Amino acid sequence: AAGKVEVSMPPVVEVALGETARIECNFSIPGNVSYSIINWFYVERHSKVKLCSVLPGELLEDNTSYKGRLSVGRDNSLSISRVTVQDARPIVCQVEADDHGAGENRTELHIYKAPEAPEITANKGGVSVKSRDLPQIATCVSRNSFPPPNITWYKNREQLHTEENKVKISETVTRESSWLYTVSSSLFASVTREDRNSLFHCAVHYWLPGQQRVMESQNVSVNVFYPAEHVTLLVLPSPTLVKEGDNVQLVCKADGNPAPMFSFYKREVEDNWQDLSSLADANSGVLNLHDVNKSSSGLYKCQALDLDDMEQLEKDVELVVNYIEGVSVKMEPPSPVLEGGSVRLSCSANSPLALDFHWRDAKGKIVAEGKQLLLSNLTFETSSNFSCKVTAHKVPGLEKSKQVAVDVQGKPRIVSISSPLYVRQDEVVNLTCKAIAFPRPSVQWNINGTTHEYMENLHIASNLTVRVDHNLLQEGAMCRVNNTLGTSEKHIQLLDHKVSESKGVIIVAIIVCILVVAVLGSVIYFLHKKGKIPCGRAGKQDITRPEARKDKIVVEVKSDKLSEEAGLLQGANGEKRPAADQVGQTDVHC
């Protein structure tokens, strides 16, 4: 053994596809004798095929698929460039020495190619919890790798392993024309209704030089079919706030997949059930009830039929439609009522709920709360229409109203006349008389003329067009309004426009005199301040009988209207004073 050539090589050399593989060949020859030749081989089907021969300073390549890709280093290592997957085979290094024979060893050359991203496809048809055989969940495919990778499966991030009657994994490995591998793995597993939310994915485990890596797929879910276990029947929008006139939905839901077929029924008398399925959508499980009323109340039932196993579940619900009916208003005493009288209005209604009553007038203003409204001292102006609004505070929007008319009767009442009226002789004027009454009155004048009447609600207005003469000025006009309950009349006074003008002149004269006295007082006060007029308590002048002086002009104003002058000379207490008492001695004080 000491006389033989010993060759050592690494057991495995790893390289990525397309890179350069460097294979070392170390040897020892007894006596440090130089080698005579080094031969390189690859092994195929247990036979060695020569790659090349290395002589000192020379490389001799054989005609193989490696030709042109081989090179030898100074350390006698062999390099293979642009490696392919076919190069993944044992490589043999044989060293010969003339007197010591030959020795050889081998290296396993491993080539690696990373796969593409895995493709996962879930079962599109869905799987049933009642399937007798294990249903296929998904398929995972890894393409173009070398060597073929391993594929593992996971549910909700937990690895699945083959288990009898629960989990089965089948795998197919295909070598493509490119010598790269495609691996397809299929997962079969039993499912439960809880798996409707489960997520599945696969992982591809592959190798690269000196390391192992993992590439994961996306998560997928499958459509799990399972029978319904529970059924619910809901009243929308609210089971307790349904009122007459509402649109109501009865929604039937089952926890099975796919959804079962739904049927709706309503209980009639003697436990007979009315089929309402024609009004519902059998697939969505919704029964629409439009404009419900009192008769819509009752017990409703939903039946859910599973077409897979023909099992049937049902659920019922009581629908209560809240209502207000029979709203009426009673009037005591009954209409019509005499003006000045009183009336009591009583409102009543039927409902299973507690009710509130509100009274409003014709303008919509709330005038009272409660079932009764007392109207006292009624007049024609009192609102004739009142309404009783009935509400249920527990059910918003539930309300009914009843309107009643209160008719007030009475003899006419004159509310407006055109008096006093200033006119001129022979002038054409319009005399107006307005009244209110019920029943409808008639208007009469005590003088002749052209009349026009206007009626608005309970008001009547009469316009009389007439020419003013002496008798009309003296006596005036009389408006008389009457109906079956009585008569009212009023006098219209006509005044001569000239008399009013003379009275106006007198008033203006009085105002001017007052202004003159005010100015005179101001002048006297001014002269006193300048010292021109002495004054004091002892200074008295008799102005009752001034002496007549020739250089003074005395102006005396007389009027034949003694009554008016006397009126102007009345004292503060309304009594007339003698002229001598009105004109006396006056003290002037400063």
CATH number given to 410-496: 2.60.40.10
CA distance 65 to 518: 147
User: DSSP strand E in 74-135: where?
Assistant: 78-80, 90-97, 101-112, 119-122, 127-128
The phi, psi pair for 566, rounded to 5°, reads -60, -40
The mean-pLDDT minimum among 55-69, 95-109, 573-587 falls in 573-587
Topology of domain 325-406, per CATH? Answer: Immunoglobulin-like (2.60.40)
Average of per-residue pLDDT across 273-301: 90
Q: Cα–chain-centroid distance for residue 488? A: 62
The rounded percent of the chain whose pLDDT value lies above 90 is 61
Average of per-residue pLDDT across 260-266: 92
Q: What is the mean pLDDT of the chain?
A: 85
Size (the chain), residues: 590
Asked if residue 585 has pLDDT above 60, the reply is no
First CA to last CA across the chain, in angstroms? Answer: 170
Q: What is the model's pLDDT at position 3?
A: 65
CATH number given to 231-319: 2.60.40.10
CA distance 231 to 306: 12
Q: Read off the DSSP letter of residue 547.
A: P
Specify the higher pLDDT residue, 474 or 159: 159
The residues spanned by each domain of the chain are: 6-112, 116-225, 231-319, 325-406, 410-496
CA distance 400 to 323: 9
The three-class DSSP label of residue 331 is strand
Q: Is 494 exposed, middle or buried (0-12, 13-18, 19+ CB in 10 A)?
A: buried
Banded pLDDT at 38 (limits 50, 70, 90):
very high
Q: What is the model's pLDDT at position 7?
A: 94
Domains 116-225 and 325-406 share a fold: yes
Q: Into which CATH architecture does domain 116-225 fall?
A: Sandwich (2.60)
Asked if residue 327 has pLDDT above 70, the reply is yes
Banded pLDDT at 100 (limits 50, 70, 90):
confident
Angle, CA of 225, 231 and 232, to the nearest 5°: 130
Structure tokens at 574: 């309304």
Average of per-residue pLDDT across 406-412: 89
CATH number given to 6-112: 2.60.40.10
Q: What is the model's pLDDT at position 562?
A: 31
529-547: per-residue pLDDT in tens? 766 555 443 333 333 333 3
The mean-pLDDT minimum among 209-213, 471-475, 476-480, 504-508 falls in 504-508
pTM over the 0.95 mark:
no
Contact 361/368 with Cβ under 8 angstroms?
A: no
Specify the higher pLDDT residue, 117 or 458: 117
Banded pLDDT at 556 (limits 50, 70, 90):
very low
Contact 140/118 with Cβ under 8 angstroms?
A: yes
Average of per-residue pLDDT across 67-87: 93
Q: What is the model's pLDDT at position 565?
A: 33
The mean-pLDDT minimum among 307-311, 418-422, 469-473 falls in 307-311
Contact 491/478 with Cβ under 8 angstroms?
A: yes
Contact 426/467 with Cβ under 8 angstroms?
A: yes
* Residue owning tokens 């998904």: 138
Average of per-residue pLDDT across 316-329: 94
CA distance 571 to 569: 6
Banded pLDDT at 528 (limits 50, 70, 90):
confident
Contact 280/303 with Cβ under 8 angstroms?
A: no
Q: Which residue, among 317, 403, 301, 421, has the nearest Cα to 360 in the 3D structure?
A: 403
Q: What is the model's pLDDT at position 109?
A: 96
The phi, psi pair for 91, rounded to 5°, reads -115, 130
Average of per-residue pLDDT across 509-524: 84
237-255: per-residue pLDDT in tens? 888 889 999 999 999 999 9
DSSP H helical ranges for 153-194: none
Q: Which residue, among 48, 25, 21, has the nearest Cα to 38 in the 3D structure?
A: 25
